[in-house]
Chain A
Amino acid sequence: MSKMEIIHRLIEDIPVIIVSGKIDAVSSKDLGNALAGLIDENKRFLVVDMEKVEYLSSSGLRVLMASLNKLKNMDGDLLLAALQPFVKDVFSLTGANRFFSIYPNHDEAIKNIKK
Chain B
Amino acid sequence: MANSLISDSLVLLQAVSVIIVAALLISRSRPFTEIIDGRPTAKSQLLLSIFFGAVSIYGSLIGINFLGAIISVRDLGPLVGGLACGPMVGLGAGLIGATFRLSEGGFTAPACSIAVSLAGIIGGLIYWKRGRFPGIIPSTVFAVLFELFHMLLTLAISRPFDMAMDVVAQASLPMVLANGAGMLIFAFIIVNVINERETMRERDRYQLELQIKKAELIVAADIQKSFLPGKIPSPEGFDIAATSIPAKEVGGDFYDFFKKDDNLQFVIADVSGKGVPAALFMALSRIIVRACSAPLRGGFERLRCANQMIVEESGSATSGMFVTLFLARLNLLDRSLNYANAGHNPPLLFRADSKSIERMDVTGVALGMMADMEYEQRQMILDPGDVLLLYTDGIVEAMNGKDELFGESRLRSSLAAAAGLSAQEILDSVLRDLGIFTGDMEQSDDITALVIKVERRCSNVV
Contacts and interface: CB of A to CB of B under 8 A. Distances in A.
Given A57-B397, A59-B274, A63-B320, A95 B366 contact: yes
B319 A24 contact: no
A47 to B, nearest CB: 18
B279 interface: no
Interface stretch (A11-19, A38-46, A64-72, A105-113): A64-72
Contact of B272 (A59, A68, A92): A59
Contact of A94 (B275, B365, B405): B365
Interface in B299-351: 317-322, 324, 342-346
B320 A67 contact: yes
Interface in A1-50: 24-25
Residue with the highest number of chain B CB atoms closer than 10 Å, among A25, A65, A70, A95: A95
A101 interface: no
A99 B272 contact: no
A109 B366 CA distance: 25
B318 A69 contact: yes
Contact of A98 (B320, B322, B365): B365
A12 B317 CA distance: 30
B365 A95 contact: yes
Contacts of A66: 318-320
Given A62-B272, A95-B369, A69 B324 contact: no
A61 interface: yes
A89 B418 CA distance: 27
Contacts of B445: 25, 57
Interface residues of A, number: 23
Nearest to A60: B272
Contacts of A92: 362
Contacts of B271: 58
Contact of B322 (A24, A25, A65, A67): A65
A96 to B, nearest CB: 6
A68 B319 CA distance: 11
Contacts, number: 73
Contacts of B273: 25, 58-59, 62
Interface in B137-165: none
A68 to B, nearest CB: 8
B393 interface: yes
Contacts of B369: 65, 94-96, 99
Contacts of A63: 320
B171 interface: no
Contacts of B397: 55, 57
B444 interface: yes
Given A59-B273, A63-B320, A93 B370 contact: no
Interface string B254-290: 0000000000000000111111000000000000000
Given A58-B273, A61-B272, A94 B321 contact: no
Given A95-B369, A96-B369, A25 B321 contact: no
Interface in B392-424: 393, 397, 405
B304 to A, nearest CB: 14
Contacts of B366: 94-96
A62 B320 contact: yes
A64 B272 contact: no
Instruction: With a 10 A CB-CB cut-off, give which of A65, A66, A70 has the most chain B CB atoms.
Output: A65
A1 to B, nearest CB: 9
A62 B444 CA distance: 17
A73 B445 CA distance: 32
Contacts of B318: 66, 69-70
Given A67-B320, A69-B320, A95-B366, A25 B274 contact: yes
Contacts of A25: 273-275, 444-445
A93 B320 contact: no
A17 to B, nearest CB: 16
Given A25-B274, A57-B445, A95-B365, A62 B321 contact: yes
A64 B365 contact: no
B120 interface: no
A92 B365 CA distance: 9
Given A25-B274, A25-B444, A95 B364 contact: yes
B370 to A, nearest CB: 6
B10 to A, nearest CB: 63
A58 B393 contact: yes
A63 B345 CA distance: 20
Given A69-B320, A93-B324, 6 more contacts: A61-B320, A62-B319, A94-B324, A95-B365, A95-B373, A96-B365
Interface of A: 24-25, 55, 57-59, 61-70, 92-96, 98-99
29 contacts: A24-B444, A25-B274, A25-B275, A55-B397, A58-B270, A58-B272, A58-B273, A59-B273, A61-B320, A62-B272, A62-B273, A62-B320, A62-B321, A62-B322, A64-B320, A65-B320, A65-B322, A65-B369, A66-B320, A69-B317, A69-B320, A93-B345, A93-B346, A95-B342, A95-B365, A96-B343, A96-B369, A98-B365, A99-B370
* 9 nearest CB pairs, A to B: A95-B365, A66-B320, A65-B320, A94-B343, A58-B272, A62-B272, A94-B366, A62-B320, A59-B273
